[in-house]
Structure 1
Amino acid sequence: MSLSFNVGDLSIHRVIEQETTFLPALEMFPDLTPELLAENRAWLRQARALDDADALILCFQSYVVKTPHHTILIDTCIGNDKQRPTRPNWHMKTDDTYMKALNAAGVSVDEIDFVMCTHLHPDHAGWNTRLENGRWVPTFANARYVFAKTEFDHWTAQNAKAAVPTFIDSVLPVVEANRAEMVSNDFTIGDHAHILPTPGHTPGHVAFAFGKGKDEAVFSGDLMHSPLQTRYPALSPKFDVDPAQAALTRRNFLERYCDTDTLCCPAHFPSPSVGKIRRRGNAFTCEAVG
């Protein structure tokens, strides 16, 4: 599928900041065995989800969704000028890749009506803000930023114990600028967007489903990081705060959308990223479309 596509009365655009190797698969997934990796190595490499050294290849991207009434940005990737010393590819970036990709989608920062964050990790909230005259200010000045209240409360508590850089530089400035909306699980935008609670990766992680009358497309954030997890939904990455809950959430999500026409739009699957969930024995696959 291309960077831009239409489904129902929605126009969807992928905005890619990075597509690169991340961690070795065996490090990313603590329960993945060398034997299981060997069984799946060929198709993962063919899908460009695994490199020759068995490192996972991930895409770091946002999605712009245009409904008949609103322009909505889902997740805001990594951002520039952010202190992320544990991730060299993210640390103190100064490139224009993201903004060029946003412009290529035909969207300016001032045209975004809503920013919707599936959760508040650094690669999903980074462009929430940008550095301006030494201060963090909302990048999307005309947008309302949608944060799940459970997620925001979790990071508020964590930040009270020890400083959480992403929360400080990419979330609190949005709140201080009065651009944030703390929402519950019944939040909707018109008749085109609603929240699907998907806890496990973080306590308040959510997916966003779009479509009038039915779910035409669903944006799953970090519910899944790799196509490997469609075949093995029990595989949780080391970043999941509750691996058992994440595995249950993942299987329920896959069952919900299996063999439907709903487009599944994960945050990190390698290009083309988007596909439809299909049953494969006792598991699933995400079949690319377009």
Structure 2
Amino acid sequence: MSGWFDLGDVAVVPIVETPRLLIDPAEFFPGHPGVPTGWAAEAPWSEPGQLVFTMQAFLVVTPHERILVDACVGDGKPRARPEFDRLDSGWWQRFSATGLSAGDVSTVVFSHLHVDHVGWATRWSDGHWRPAFPKARHVLTAPEYDYWRSPAGAAAMTRTGDYLADSIEPVAEAGLLDLTPPDAELGPHVRLCPAPGHTPGNTAVLVTGSRARLLLTGDILHHPLQLMDPDTSTRYCVDPELSARTRRRTLDWLADTGTAMIPAHFAAPSAGRVDRHGSGFTFAPAVDLHRREAWPPR
């Protein structure tokens, strides 16, 4: 474990699948000048000519619930992208190292239905993909589900492979899928926050503990270069202009309130606070929340 984040009576535990996925800036941000000058030395964020992305999920441990936010790519699944195809990542062993079993998870939240956020919702068993967390309600918004089951969503999946078929539909067929409003409260400590643009029903997840709050921003941001230039959306955003407005609105709120955030794909240290700087924002690690020992604390 690389550590966890202490909100008082709530803990947020990153469970990393792939710590450093290198991506050409032109793939994600076409037309953008690329890695800013001097960033090659910033080991957590970039390497020469490449951006660093992390694939991770987040376990939210409250006094009453165990909530998994997003579910990475998943192991053993056929995918068109070579880095995702039939992974053998060890993610499940890292989940088990938290001391929890699959049956302890009460809720799985999908911030949105992209291939790298849904995979561990199912595991291969007896010749079928079956729900990995059989006692959990699986939460996403109705606009998100409807879009990915539409002709437009099906066309968008051609670049990845049909991950709904092996990661979402088995959950729905088991009666575990719960379509919620984009601002649904999932309990006293966790609620969804509407964040459309990247996808139609995209959400963030606000986690509130007794001494701090933390916003799991999902894919509102993909990489720290979007802090410097919040108007830059990815080529994978369904509505790039709306995505940019959502990103700036979210960053303004974070700066105004001092709330810490963890984007889904920031390399560690992934939790931090933002402040305004010119037309963009700066990022400072939330060292006051970070606990470096393994979860659960001994």
TM-score by structure 2 length?
0.89
1:239 to 213, 236, 241: 236
Q: Which has the higher contact order (CA 8 A, sep 6+)?
A: 2
The correspondence of residues 136-151 of structure 1 with structure 2, limited to 5 A, is 136-151=129-144
Contact 1:201–1:222, Cα closer than 8 Å, also in 2: yes
**Corresponding residue number in structure 1 for 2:19:** 19
1:131 to 100, 114, 124: 124
1:282 aligns with 2:282: no
Matched residues, number = 283
Q: What SS is found at the alignment partner of 1:147?
A: strand
Shift in CA distance, 161/66, structure 1 to aligned 2, threshold 3 Å: closer
- How far residue 47 of structure 1 moved from its aligned partner, in angstroms, is 4.7
Letter in 2 for 1:246: S
**Corresponding residue number in structure 2 for 1:106:** 99
Q: Deviations over 1:231-268 (max 9, x none)?
A: 11011111111111111110000001115332201100
Matched residues in 1 for 2:37 and 2:213: separation? 32
**Corresponding residue number in structure 2 for 1:211:** 208
Runs of 4+ in 1 over 3 A off after TM superposition: 158-164, 212-215
**Corresponding residue number in structure 1 for 2:62:** 67
- How far residue 212 of structure 1 moved from its aligned partner, in angstroms, is 5.5
Matched residues in 1 for 2:55 and 2:78: separation? 18
The correspondence of residues 1-290 of structure 1 with structure 2, limited to 5 A, is 2-33=2-33, 37=35, 40-43=36-39, 45-52=41-48, 54-85=49-80, 87-93=81-87, 95=88, 97-158=90-151, 165-211=162-208, 216-290=213-287
Q: What SS is found at the alignment partner of 1:189?
A: coil
Gaps (5+ residues) in structure 2?
Answer: 288-298
Matched residues in 2 for 1:57 and 1:193: separation? 29
Letter in 2 for 1:7: L
Contact 2:189–2:208, Cα closer than 8 Å, also in 1: yes
- How far residue 158 of structure 1 moved from its aligned partner, in angstroms, is 3.4
Matched residues in 2 for 1:196 and 1:220: separation? 9
Higher mean Cα deviation, 168-177 or 274-283? 274-283
Q: Percent identity?
A: 35
Gaps (5+ residues) in structure 1?
Answer: none
Shift in CA distance, 7/215, structure 1 to aligned 2, threshold 3 Å: closer
TM-score by structure 1 length?
0.91
- How far residue 280 of structure 1 moved from its aligned partner, in angstroms, is 1.5
Q: Deviations over 1:92-111 (max 9, x none)?
A: 12x25101211223322221
Matched residues in 2 for 1:59 and 1:160: separation? 25
Matched residues in 1 for 2:198 and 2:122: separation? 23
Contact 1:8–1:211, Cα closer than 8 Å, also in 2: no
- How far residue 214 of structure 1 moved from its aligned partner, in angstroms, is 9.3
Matched residues in 1 for 2:212 and 2:195: separation? 16
Matched residues in 1 for 2:206 and 2:63: separation? 15
Letter in 2 for 1:88: P
**What is the Cα-based RMSD across aligned positions, in Å?**
2.1
Matched residues in 1 for 2:31 and 2:174: separation? 42
Matched residues in 2 for 1:160 and 1:270: separation? 29
Shift in CA distance, 42/160, structure 1 to aligned 2, threshold 3 Å: closer
Matched residues in 2 for 1:215 and 1:151: separation? 29
Contact 1:31–1:235, Cα closer than 8 Å, also in 2: no
Contact 1:44–1:228, Cα closer than 8 Å, also in 2: no
